[in-house]
Amino acid sequence: MRLAIAYNIKKDTEEGLPEDFYAEWDDMDTIEGVREALASRHEEVELVEADAGAYEKLKTLKPQLVFNMAEGFFGESRESHLPAMMEMLGIPYTGSAPLTLALCLNKARAKQILSYCSIPNPEFFVIESISEDLPGANFPLIVKPLYEGSSKGIRDDSIVRSPAELRCKVSTVIDKYGQPALVEEYLEGREFTVALLGNGEELRVLPPVEINYSALPAGVNPIYSYEAKWILDRPETPLDIFTCPAKVDAELEGRITETAKRAFHALGVRDWCRTDMRLDSGGTPHVLELNPLPGILPDPKQNSCFPKAARAGGMDFTTLVNTVVEVARRRYGI
């Protein structure tokens, strides 16, 4: 097949932007790793940077299928931009449609749908402006930007324990990220992330990954914060932060798996997705968010949940990337 990869490449952060502005974008090693994996099974694999010229490039190139890993530039629907172009051009692409990508990026919208489908998720409210009265709530709470990923805006101090801390953190999120703050009930139970691959009846759940908070230095809060993901865990000094397969009994694994699948279908996800979950004090898995454009680092030495879960399920990186293409082709019937 003639394939193209659509991506956004990490850049140095310009003056005036938050230091984590490009955290979600991929580096060249990742894009090259995906290209190599696809090139091992396909005759042609073009690289297309998903910038403002992407539409014209893809219109000229007319690939038979696009492997979509483009996170997009600006706004709460940025992950939908490239898939929307593909739909206008009639080019098949891997992964979810614009609606699902936009819904999952706006965590509150995703949570409304999860709640409608009776899928447990933490209680929440959204604050648009710091001049609003903050609702009364039981502490601790966690404050996050409404539409970010890759732990952007989630810091060790994002857990707040008083109205004053809440106000301060909400104000930081609104000012720094230029978007509303999502405030959630803080769940202190075990955390898992679950990789799913496929569609419909053929949806496959890979072995769950547990986030192992005992790997963090003493005094650091047990959340997968920006510090945990990008500062404490470095390729030269990796943290032993993921346990996969998670050590869970069959009953808990069943509940985690079932919740992840229900969330996948509720949001209309296609082909692949990683769902983050945390247990409440009664041991019930709650969905924190869905990642329908999951990060994939090719180097097994680097911590990357989806490839790790795939390896535990017997799939190396090359097989994983090509399986995403295969499930998309089956969905399109091409």
Contacting positions for Mg ion (CB under 5 A): 276
Q: How far is the CB of 62 from Mg ion (least distance, A)?
A: 35
**Residue 144 lies near ligand ADP (rule: CB under 6 A):** yes
Q: In angstroms, what is the minimal distance from the CB of 244 to ligand ADP? A: 15
Q: According to CB under 6 A, which one of 147, 224, 306, 317 is a site residue for ligand ADP?
A: 224
Among 37, 114, 197, 223, binds ligand ADP (CB under 6 A): 223
Least separation in angstroms between CB 276 and Mg ion: 4
Task: Evaluate whether 204 touches 193 at the Cβ level (below 8 Å).
Answer: no
- Report if residue 187 touches ligand ADP, rule: CB under 6 A: yes
Q: Which of 126, 96, 97 is nearest to 111 (CA)?
A: 126
Q: Please, are residues 259 and 182 in contact by the beta-carbon 8 Å criterion?
A: no
Q: Which is nearer to Mg ion, 55 or 213 (CB)?
A: 213
Nearer to ligand ADP, 35 or 124 (CB): 124
Site for ligand ADP in 150-169 (CB under 6 A): 150-152, 154
Kindly tell me which residue out of 83, 95, 149, 208 binds ligand ADP, with binding defined by CB under 6 A.
Answer: 149
Cβ 46 vs Cβ 330: under 8 Å: no
- Integer Cα distance of 284 and 191 in angstroms: 11
Number of shown-chain residues binding ligand ADP (CB under 6 A): 20
For ligand ADP, the binding residues (CB under 6 A) are: 122, 142, 144, 148-152, 154, 184-187, 191, 223-224, 276, 278, 288-289
